[in-house]
Amino acid sequence: MAKALTKTQLVAALADELGSEKKAAAAALDAIISVISREVSSGGAVALPGVGKIYCRERPARMVRNPATGQQIHKDADKVVKMTIAKALKDSLNS
């Protein structure tokens, strides 16, 4: 598996792609992250064309097992962030 891009590497790649300075690319990336975080945390979803959809899903309360002891524990309901990958991105991997 290839190593993930760091934020610095992503900012540099965005700056090259946009033909702008790294400072402007970093500000744009921070703004996008802020919008996605705000929207998903309020229960909404964000669709990134060609990449996928990021959304919040609620999980009901349930019983889970502690793998170390095998003891059953009650876990309260919680929310998790999910992402559905776009078909275009999946198809680009195999072409």
0.85 surpassed by pTM: no
The stretch 2-19 carries a mean pLDDT of 93
Residues 6+ apart with CB under 8 A from 90: none
Among residues 56, 55, 53, 57, the alpha carbon closest in space to that of 85 is found at: 53
For the chain, what is the mean pLDDT? 94
Q: Return the percentage of the chain with pLDDT > 70, whole number.
A: 100
Mind listing the pLDDT tens digit for each residue in 56-91? 999 999 999 999 999 999 999 999 999 999 999 999
Would you state the pLDDT for residue 2? 82
CB burial class (10 A; 0-12, 13-18, 19+) of residue 53?
middle
